Amino acid sequence: MNAKNLLARWLRLFLLVSLLLAAWPVQPQSSNDAVQKIIAAALGPGPLAENLRQLTDEIGGRMSGTPAMRRAAEWAVTAFRQAGVDTARTEPFTLPTSWSEGATRLEVIAPVAFPVQAVSLAWSPPTPAGGLEADLVDVGMGTEAEFARARPARGSILLVHSQVIRTWADLFDEYNRAPAILDQAVASGAAAVLWMSSREQGLLYRHIHNFLGQIDRLPQALVAREDAQRMARLLAAGRRVRVRLDLPNRVGGPVEERNVVAEIRGRERPEEIVLLGAHLDSWDLGTGALDNGCNAALVIDAARAIVAAGARPRRTLRFVLWSGEEQGLIGSWQYVQQHRAELDQIVAYVNFDEGIGRVVGYSLGGRADIEPALREILQPIESWGANAHTADAFLGTDNFDFLLEGIPTLVATQEEHNYITNYHASSDTLDKIDIRELKLHTALAAVTVYGIAEREQRIGPRLTRGEVEALLRRTGLDQQMQRFGFWLLWERGERGRQP
Ligand SMILES: [Zn+2]
């Protein structure tokens, strides 16, 4: 054999070995095995459906600060323990103010008498004892021009129109336009505001305009769309419409609430933590199945699937069910405050809060830098079509305070499906949930957090305050924060990464 032949043989051997190595999975085989076992455990038989039935039908609507929410937290600790986690407990925090609706009454008394279907807005102050009686003034969609035209007299009750909402963008728009309308209502000296329901066929929902856990500026009620339109037609016909509004809401002082926290301790770097969370609290008109019972049940079942797969990851997995979300993300905010000493060790926060519509990817909270690692982690389930990740950031769920701390956050992006119509409404009930879809989402969530916790490198660094501020401006989150009063808290260092 001559030297040239020998070289050719070595080259062929080298090529073969290279090809074999290239074909070898990027992740070690054991990690891939674990992922397959996690998926099988999530999709196979389990307590997911029964858990969600108990939470929604037997505990029901669970507004923060109520006995129902206390029962929900106790139930969740038990469910986590049955899932086999290492530890499960509640962590208390204080809700600054407690609020509940009294016996709301709204009626038109002239030119024709009829009762009006209405509910109080959350955080609405009560009307004076005995209620209000006043002229109704139609301010249309509440633009400056419409206020100028209507010129409501001091002490009148305003009627604000709405459009029927169908998309995520419509929902954000409904929230976004409210602060400026309220500013004008307060400036005009109005006694109260009636908001036309943005859903049809008499559907009522618990709307909220103050996200800082404070009592709102004016008494406000949400009015059935058809009733509101009848009142508007009477005004348009030139009639003087008198209404009587009684909102005997109960407002109380600080109240103790609790987040539920469960853990699977990491095998190599237990001090480093990956969080999977969803809020457990809901509004009280429905039973909080879409928002957010299904995803609270998902978090518990993701923990169960990982335990059942025998997959103890490198880092610690922490599963958190928040309270106080509907009052302004208060449970997750307080958690971040209470865990300030370990924030450097929180590798990522993953959140589910968009109902049961199919998950198409994650919203990365302005962090395009974490997408390559995420794609690598989700590679075993690439065919599921959940890789349409976006580097946007929005204000509206419990990733917010983690994002402000510079921690990478992932929020599941879900198709709208049946979410918007039933959002915060009396119709948010268990029948809206597709358990098969929820199992797929559970598997996806479990694979995501397991992969982040198992990966040798972090998926991305914690950002400095300066980097977070640049992110807020780049994504337009700064404007959302200004609109709802969060920006001042960030500037003062009361919320978000310390200077
Ligand atoms: Zn929610």
Distance CA 236, CA 446 (A): 56
The alpha-helical segments, DSSP class H, found in 430-492 are 435-454, 465-475, 477-483, 487-491
Dig out the tokens for 33 from the structure: 């095995």
Question: Do residues 206 and 285 make contact, with C-beta atoms less than 8 angstroms apart?
Answer: yes
CA of 263 to the centre of ligand 1 (A): 23
Sign, Cα dihedral of 29, 30, 33, 39: negative
Which residue bears the tokens 């794609």?
Answer: 375
CA of 93 to the centre of ligand 1 (A): 19
Question: Do residues 351 and 411 make contact, with C-beta atoms less than 8 angstroms apart?
Answer: yes
CA of 355 to the centre of ligand 1 (A): 8
pLDDT at 121: 97
Question: Do residues 303 and 318 make contact, with C-beta atoms less than 8 angstroms apart?
Answer: no
pLDDT at 17: 52
CA of 299 to the centre of ligand 1 (A): 14
The one-character DSSP state at 431 is G
Name 259's Cβ contacts closer than 8 Å, sequence gap at least 6.
73, 90, 91, 93, 320, 321, 322, 323, 331, 332, 334, 335
Show contacts of 12-17: CB within 8 Å, 24+ apart: none
CA of 329 to the centre of ligand 1 (A): 10
CA of 193 to the centre of ligand 1 (A): 25
pLDDT at 27: 44
CA of 109 to the centre of ligand 1 (A): 37
Which residue bears the tokens 């949400």?
Answer: 222
CA of 331 to the centre of ligand 1 (A): 13
Question: Do residues 156 and 137 make contact, with C-beta atoms less than 8 angstroms apart?
Answer: yes
CA of 353 to the centre of ligand 1 (A): 5
Cis peptide bond prior to 292, omega within 30° of 0 = yes
CA of 335 to the centre of ligand 1 (A): 17
CA of 275 to the centre of ligand 1 (A): 17
CA of 168 to the centre of ligand 1 (A): 13
Q: Other CB atoms closer than 10 Å to residue 126's CB: what's the count?
A: 18
The one-character DSSP state at 214 is S
CA of 397 to the centre of ligand 1 (A): 7
Pairing mode, if any, of strands 346-351 and 409-414?
parallel
Q: What structural domains and CATH numbers belong to the chain?
A: 29-96+254-462 (3.40.630.10), 99-251 (3.50.30.30)
CA of 396 to the centre of ligand 1 (A): 8
CA of 384 to the centre of ligand 1 (A): 24
CA of 452 to the centre of ligand 1 (A): 24
pLDDT at 8: 62
pLDDT at 6: 55
CA of 90 to the centre of ligand 1 (A): 20
Residue in 385, 360, 387 with CA at minimum distance from that of residue 373:
387
CA of 21 to the centre of ligand 1 (A): 46
Distance CA 247, CA 329 (A): 25
CA of 279 to the centre of ligand 1 (A): 7
CA of 459 to the centre of ligand 1 (A): 26
Distance CA 411, CA 398 (A): 9
CA of 303 to the centre of ligand 1 (A): 20
- Cα 436 to Cα 46, 190, 412, distances in angstroms: 12, 49, 17
The one-character DSSP state at 400 is H
Pairing mode, if any, of strands 192-196 and 157-160?
parallel
Residues whose CB is under 5 A from ligand 1 (ion)? 291-292, 353
CA of 428 to the centre of ligand 1 (A): 11
CA of 283 to the centre of ligand 1 (A): 9
CA of 491 to the centre of ligand 1 (A): 26
CA of 356 to the centre of ligand 1 (A): 12
pLDDT at 389: 98
Q: In what order do the strands lie in the sheet with 220-223?
A: 114-115, 105-110, 242-246, 132-138, 157-160, 192-196, 220-223, 118-120
CA of 192 to the centre of ligand 1 (A): 27
Output Rg (C-alpha) for the chain, integer angstroms.
26
Q: With b meaning 16 or more CB within 10 Å and e meaning fewer, what string describes 183-213?
A: ebbeebebbbbbbbbbbeeebbbbbbbbbbb
CA of 225 to the centre of ligand 1 (A): 23
CA of 265 to the centre of ligand 1 (A): 28
The residues that bridge with 192 in the sheet, in sequence order, are 157
For the chain (length 499 residues), average pLDDT per consecutive 10? 57 54 49 95 98 98 96 98 98 93 97 98 96 98 96 97 95 93 97 98 94 91 98 98 98 95 98 98 97 98 98 97 95 97 98 98 98 97 96 97 98 96 96 98 98 98 98 97 95 93
CA of 291 to the centre of ligand 1 (A): 5
CA of 278 to the centre of ligand 1 (A): 8
